[in-house]
Every structure is written in structure tokens, then in C-alpha cells.
Amino acid sequence: MVVLRRDKMRLALLLAPARLLLIFLVLSGTGAVAVLVDVLSFVLVRPLSLSAHRRVVTVVSYGFLLCGSFLIDRWTRIRLRFYGTRVAPAASSLVVVNHCSNVDW
């Protein structure tokens, strides 16, 4: 059983650089797509409607930010727990985050 754990640790250490490279490539690719869509929106949509251009850029920017947080959440197996009451979407709210981490400085 100890040998099996040691083999798993070795495999995890060997795969760590590959995971980091994959995360870098995925984030770089999604960033490139986001910039391309922003440029196309600037050229094609902005001359027609400034508000439509702003909506396109907002949606693409949020999508890019969510992609990064999704990948980090999924691949690092971080669990998020939400406590409290439900807030209506139109209501204003204040979010206070308390986190515990091994790298909490």
C-alpha cells in the first residue's frame, strides 16, 4: 500500500507541469478569442451602435473571467460554500468573503 501511494505521488509530480501548461494554454486561447471578438465588435458593431458594442464587450469579458475561475475551481477541486439568506437579483447586497487556505498570507 505504501508503494502505491509513493507511485501516485511520483505520478502527480510528473503531471504537475503538464497541468500548469494546459491551464496556461487554455487561458491564453480563451483570452485570444475574447480579444478577437472585442476587435470584431469594435470594427463591425461599434459604428452602428455604441450600446450594442458595450454589451458585446461586457458579455465577452465576463465569459473570459468566468472561464478562468471555472478552470481553477474544477482542476484544483476547491469547494465553495455559500451561507446566508437569498438576495433578490434587483436588490443591493454586500458580500463579505472569509477564506481559509494553505497559502493565506
Lowest pLDDT segment from 32-46, 62-76, 86-100 = 86-100
77 to 48, 64, 70, 88: CA distances (angstroms): 44, 20, 10, 29
pLDDT at residue 97 in the model: 67
Give the helix, strand, coil percentages of the chain, each rounded to 5. Answer: 65, 0, 35
Which one of 1-10, 45-54, 63-72 scores highest in mean pLDDT? Answer: 45-54
pLDDT above 90: percentage of residues in the chain: 22
pLDDT band (50, 70, 90) for residue 42: very high
For the question of whether the overall pTM of this predicted structure is more than 0.75, the answer is no
Instruction: End-to-end CA distance of the chain: give it in Å, rounded.
Output: 36
